[in-house]
């Protein structure tokens, strides 16, 4: 959301103040604290009780019986999450857009790994018979994930192309009562001389009408 806010205010007329972005970052810092606190409580509980239910946690963080494919992933996620939390916690780094954006990227990657591979897979290891089946994402799975995210971002972009002009009051119907006109020249225009796919001369004529 923080990165999107920066993109939206750069390429559209929508005015999003720094204070609003920094407040969202502050809320994310609180959320990351809760996330890390609950993770630490879960790790402490499992290792302190030292029961058979410790096996999934050991498999995830230490490896179990020579199986350790997920260990690099979860430690990378933990490092990213802790680093991002520190960046968002300190006001000087939270209100610096370079470190703020770095923290956003770290949170996205860290939480995605932790809540994906670190949450689902260890719950099935070991299985009911004590067997351990290793898993690492394949190239096809990675490409499929990228495709899903790309599709979602494409749909979101298309929605923004309509929602933002409406919010700014730049979306209206042409003189013929049918043709939609989007006048946000910072967001829609990509070729000089065209506004929303309509030549400037035509747009001027409709405006005069």
Q: Tell me: the pLDDT tens digits for 64-96? A: 888 888 889 899 999 999 999 999 999 999 999
> Model confidence over 116-136: pLDDT tens digits?
888 888 877 877 777 788 877
Average confidence (pLDDT) over 184-209: 47
Q: Which residues contact 182 (CB under 8 A, 6 or more apart)?
A: 161, 162, 165, 170, 171, 188, 195, 196
**Cα diameter, the chain:** 79
Whether this prediction's pTM lies above 0.95 is answered by no
On the question of pLDDT at 203 being above 80, the answer is no
Q: Which residues, in sequence order, are bridge partners of residue 182? A: 171
Q: Where are the domains of the chain?
A: 2-136, 138-209
Task: Write down the pLDDT at residue 117.
Answer: 82
Cβ atoms of 204 and 195 closer than 8 Å: no
């Amino acid at each position: 959301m923080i990165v999107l806010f920066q993109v939206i205010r750069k390429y559209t007329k929508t005015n999003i103040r720094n204070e609003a972005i920094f407040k969202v970052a502050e809320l994310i810092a609180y959320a990351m604290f809760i996330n890390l606190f609950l993770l630490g409580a879960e790790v402490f509980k499992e290792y302190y009780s030292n029961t058979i239910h410790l096996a999934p946690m050991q498999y995830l963080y230490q490896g179990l019986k020579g199986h350790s494919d997920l260990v690099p992933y979860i430690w990378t996620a933990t490092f990213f999450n802790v680093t991002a939390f520190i960046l968002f916690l300190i006001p000087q780094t939270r209100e610096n857009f370079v470190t703020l954006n770095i923290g956003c990227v770290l949170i996205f990657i860290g939480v995605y790994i932790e809540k994906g591979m670190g949450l689902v897979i260890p719950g099935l290891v070991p299985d009911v018979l004590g067997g351990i089946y290793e898993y690492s994402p394949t190239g096809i799975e990675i490409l499929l994930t990228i495709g899903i995210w790309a599709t979602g971002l494409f749909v979101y972009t298309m929605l923004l192309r309509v929602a933002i002009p409406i919010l700014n009051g730049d979306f209206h119907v042409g003189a013929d009562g049918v043709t939609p006109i989007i006048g946000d020249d910072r967001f829609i225009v990509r070729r000089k001389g065209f506004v929303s796919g309509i030549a400037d001369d035509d747009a001027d004529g409709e405006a005069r009408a």
